[in-house]
Structures are given as C-alpha cells and as structure tokens.
C-alpha cells in the first residue's frame, strides 16, 4: 500500500538536503542570479560531499536515478527507493535555489537518461560523468518525436549532425546525451540517445542564453557537424523496434518529469514559507482551525495556495513511488509535472502579489522565485503537452488519434 509520508529511511537525507539548502544555497542565491553564466564554485565542495555519500551507500537517492523497467522487485513488499528519495531531496534543495540545483556537478538531466536507458556496461563506464541532455531543436520543441538531428553509422562510429538548443549545463557538463534519429523514415522508433563527451571534434557550444530565471544555470546552444561518436556510446540497444516505438525515450521522461515537478514543489514551498512569515509580520495570521471565508482575504488566498501545493506534492511523490515499485508511471509522471508546473508558477506569482512591494523588490527572494519557477512549467514537456499525454492515457487514444 502506498504511503506518502516521508519514509523513515529517507528522513536523514531529506533533513540533510534542507540544511544544505538553507546554509549553502540560499545565502549565495542572489549572488549567482546577478552573476549570470558564472560558475558557482561553492558547489564543488557540495558535489564532493554527495559523491562521498553515494559511494558509501549512506544516501540512496543523493544522485540522479532512472526508471528501469527490466528490473524486478526482490519480494512482494513495498519499496521506498531512490526515485522517492531523489524527488524529496530535490524539493528541499530547490527550497534553497533551483538554478543552483541545476548547476550541481554530476546531477544533470542527462544522468537520468543514462540511468534509465543504458545497459549495465554503459552504467559502469559513464559512472561519475556529469551529463547534460540535448533534446530541443529549432522548430522542434515539445514534440520530441520530430527530432531532425541525425546519427549515421560509419564503421565503428556514429556521425551526428544537427543543432540543439536550451541545453541545461551544456557548457559546463562533462558530456551531453544527444537525441538523434537513425532513420527519419522510421519515425519515432528510430530516435536514440548518444553520450557525446566534452571536447569531441565536431561538437561546439555556439552560445549561452540570457534568461528570465534560473540564471545560475548555463543554458547552451550546441552545434554538431560531422561529430564522430563511438558506436558503444549509443545508449541501450541500437536496434530499431517499430513495435516498441518511443519507449526508451519515454522511460527517460517518466523519470525526469517527477524530478522537475519536485523542483517546482520545492520552489513554491520556499515562497509559501517566506510569505507566511511576511504576512505575520504585517499582522495577518493564517488560522488553520477556521474556514478560509471567515478569515481575511490574504489568509484565505494563502490557504488556497497551500492546498494547491499539497496536491502537487502528493502527485509527485506518487509518480516516484510507482517508479521505485516498478509500476508503469507515465500517466502519473505527466500528471505530476502538469500540476506542479502550473501551481508552482501560480503560487510564486501569487506570493509576490500578497507581499506587495516586498514581494516585487529585490529585498526578498520572492521575485526571483517567481522568475525561476516559470521554466519548470515549460521544460521537460510544456503544460499543454502534459495535458495532452494525460488525456491520451485516460481515454486510451494514440498520438495519431488525439493531437
């Protein structure tokens, strides 16, 4: 039976993540928001700590994890594993700063792709790498099935050609997981992911984007021109299985979407915590023992925001719990991403509104959190795409039947 309370085995990790967020990330949050594209050197020590915890086995979920459908549970019991631990610790870290969390060495979205799709040999070979993920292309945003970047087999290498945009940590990461098609005529089934290591000839970072939020995180445009990648760097099987279709890609999304939802949950929680304190300082007390309509308009609005937040948190934890227990979670992953992305943005903007001039000025971090949260409703599949996926799953329709 699913229980969405914090499991006892993960409490120490979650508490530790909160301490890191409060004492290491929050104090430098404004500094790196202003110093866009500057690498936060303070994160090197934090990354070393996480590496040590992961190697010791003391912190399951400290690193990126994947949804592996081929694994079986050891017994018939309920498992609270690394996926649940990851979303809970990520939410705490984003309570500190989302952009800094996205800048963490060896914690890139590409690491989740490797964990989800790679075979055992690849998991060992790419262990410790910091992997960005390159999916989006000019003219190909949310519909990943229309990827135009190509990968052509030439001897014992694949030759990759194309352009990728909005690559998180694309300049800083050790490697990039690039999505490309082996044969456009075969559709989405021919789309595979490749690990391209930094410095590979034919891959270059064209520019870094200036952004509304998450400014501490670098976002790159990467060009691939006759970029030769060893054939063994194709993640998973090189065979094109038309029946399986986009399953490998979806396994990645089933993992990363709850992670992004957790980021939104953490950022929104930070806004709610600070807003409650600022309202109290202004003489507005939120009374949890009285209905909202018997309280001030500000208190009633705050209660509604907290209810929305709790719904997002529970959906996020459910999607992660299902992954840990090897249950298909594509529907729940998209529901969590859609709910958390939307209410996260709503909550942070509403907190700015509730706090007036304090919310809008740089004297507090509320305005920054409102800027940061918007991207969490966009990347890893926009709000509209998530709703479309949810509708297809519930109605039992294919992508061709419901566009």
Q: Which residues are catalytic?
A: 380
∠ Cα 90 315 322 (to 5°):
85
∠ Cα 315 321 326 (to 5°):
125
Distance CA 93, CA 40 (A): 15
Residue 140 DSSP one-character state? B
* Tokens at 142, concatenated: 């949310």
List b or e across 265-302, with b for residues whose CB sees 16 or more CB atoms inside 10 angstroms: bbbbbbbbebbbebbeeeebebeeeeebeebeebbbbb
Residue 198 contacts by C-beta under 8 Å, 6 or more apart in sequence?
173, 174, 175, 176
> Among residues 253, 249, 195, 250, which one has the least CA distance to residue 380?
253
Provide the β-strand partners of residue 230: 157
Sign of the C-alpha dihedral computed for residues 279, 280, 283 and 289 taken in this order: positive
Q: Which helix (H) or strand (E) holds 88?
A: helix 82-96
Q: Where are the beta strands (DSSP E) in 169-270?
A: 175-181, 191-197, 203-208, 219-230
* Tokens at 59, concatenated: 């912190």
> Among residues 138, 95, 139, 11, which one has the least CA distance to residue 270?
95
Distance CA 400, CA 403 (A): 6
* Tokens at 160, concatenated: 């990759």
Distance CA 91, CA 76 (A): 29
């Amino acid at each position: 039976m699913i229980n969405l309370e914090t499991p006892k085995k993960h409490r120490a990790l979650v508490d530790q993540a909160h301490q890191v967020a409060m004492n290491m990330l929050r104090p430098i949050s404004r500094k790196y928001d202003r110093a866009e594209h500057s690498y936060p050197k303070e994160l090197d020590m934090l990354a070393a700590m996480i590496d040590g915890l992961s190697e010791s086995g003391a912190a399951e979920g400290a690193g990126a994890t994947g949804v592996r459908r081929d694994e079986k549970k050891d017994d018939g019991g309920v498992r609270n594993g690394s996926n649940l631990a990851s979303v809970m610790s990520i939410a705490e870290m984003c309570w500190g700063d989302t952009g800094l969390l996205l800048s963490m060495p060896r914690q890139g979205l590409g690491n989740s792709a490797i964990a989800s799709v790679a075979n055992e040999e690849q998991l060992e070979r790419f262990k410790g790498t910091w992997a960005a993920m390159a999916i989006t292309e000019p003219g190909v945003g949310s519909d990943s099935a229309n990827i135009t970047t190509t990968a052509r087999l030439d001897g014992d290498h694949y030759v990759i050609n194309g352009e990728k945009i909005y690559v998180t940590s694309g300049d800083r990461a050790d490697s990039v997981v690039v999505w490309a098609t082996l044969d456009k005529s075969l559709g989405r089934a021919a789309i595979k992911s490749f690990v391209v290591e930094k410095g590979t000839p034919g891959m270059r970072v064209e520019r870094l984007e200036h952004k509304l939020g998450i400014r501490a995180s670098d976002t790159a445009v990467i060009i691939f021109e006759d970029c030769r990648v060893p054939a063994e760097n194709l993640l998973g099987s090189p065979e094109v299985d038309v029946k399986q279709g986009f399953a490998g890609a979806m396994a990645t999304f089933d993992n990363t979407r709850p992670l992004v939802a957790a980021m939104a949950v953490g950022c929104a929680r930070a806004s709610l915590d600070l807003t409650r304190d600022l309202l109290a300082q202004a003489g507005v007390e939120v009374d949890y023992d009285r209905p909202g309509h018997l309280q001030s308009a500000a208190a009633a609005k705050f209660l509604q925001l907290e209810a929305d937040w709790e719904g997002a948190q529970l959906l996020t934890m459910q999607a992660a719990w299902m992954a840990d227990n090897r249950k298909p979670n594509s529907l729940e992953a998209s529901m969590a991403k859609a709910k958390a992305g939307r209410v996260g943005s709503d909550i942070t903007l509403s907190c700015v509104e509730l706090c007036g001039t304090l919310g809008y000025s740089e004297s507090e971090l509320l305005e920054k959190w409102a800027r940061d949260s918007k991207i969490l409703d966009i990347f890893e599949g926009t709000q509209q795409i998530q709703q479309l996926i949810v509708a297809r799953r519930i109605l039992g329709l294919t992508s061709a039947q419901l566009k």
